[in-house]
């Protein structure tokens, strides 16, 4: 049985004090002397820059070759792959414009904290409500007037009738009518005078 207040002892025999636990990794570097004397140099990789396609030149060539349909244009683009030159690839002026350009929607203006702290929006809303109540009172007073009865409305003279003036271009003013539906000129004059 285990001793009181002590863990149970295991029955394995441990190696001596000179034993190193874990894997042995042999040293590959020679320390500071080797680092200073022998530099490990890495050859730089040459990455060939792939320029974007020059669609303007390709489309011009396709038109000169007689391509008319979209399929012919696609085939021409497939077989005649023309790329932009290094100096024409991306103009510096265009790149400078794009760096100063903001894409997308402009940001919202910041919330005026001073107006929020002073309850400015509440005051504006209260002023609007007061103006609406004044307008409603004026309209109510207009409706409260005594309405005229039918006899009173018949006594008032009717408003003058506005004469309609038909506008005609000046070239048609001197043209005589081609068709006369009146039996004689006297009846026409009587009709027009009425």
Reading phi first (left if > 0) and then psi (alpha if -120 to 50, else beta), residue 180 is in beta
At 29, the pLDDT band (50, 70, 90 cuts) reads low
CB 79 within 8 A of CB 58: no
Residue-wise pLDDT for 161-189, tens only, equals 887 777 777 777 777 777 888 888 899 88
Q: Containing H/E element for 126?
A: helix 120-143
Query: 3 to each of 8, 79, 149, how far by Cα in Å?
Result: 7, 89, 120
pLDDT tens-digit map of 41-69: 778 888 877 888 888 999 999 999 999 99
Supply the pLDDT for residue 13: 81
- H-assigned helices in 40-119: 55-65, 70-79, 92-100, 113-117
pTM of the model: 0.27
In degrees and rounded to multiples of 5, residue 185 shows phi and psi of: -65, -30
């Amino acid at each position: 049985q285990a001793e009181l207040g002590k863990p149970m002892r295991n029955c394995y025999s441990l190696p001596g004090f000179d034993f190193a636990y874990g894997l042995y990794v042999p040293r590959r570097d020679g320390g500071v002397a080797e680092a200073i004397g022998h530099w490990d140099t890495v050859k730089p990789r040459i990455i060939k820059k792939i320029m974007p396609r020059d669609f303007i030149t390709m489309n011009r060539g396709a038109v000169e070759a007689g391509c008319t349909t979209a399929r012919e244009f696609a085939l021409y683009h497939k077989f005649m792959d023309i790329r932009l030159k290094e100096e024409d690839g991306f103009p510096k002026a265009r790149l400078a414009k794009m760096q100063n350009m903001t894409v997308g929607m402009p940001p919202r203006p910041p919330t005026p904290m001073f107006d929020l702290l002073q309850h400015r929006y509440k005051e504006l809303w209260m002023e609007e409500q007061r103006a609406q109540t004044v307008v409603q009172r004026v309209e109510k007073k207009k409706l409260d007037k005594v309405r005229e009865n039918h006899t009173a409305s018949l006594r008032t003279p009717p408003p003058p009738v506005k004469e309609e003036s038909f506008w005609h271009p000046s070239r048609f003013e001197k043209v005589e009518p081609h068709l006369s539906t009146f039996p004689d000129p006297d009846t026409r004059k009587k009709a027009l005078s009425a």
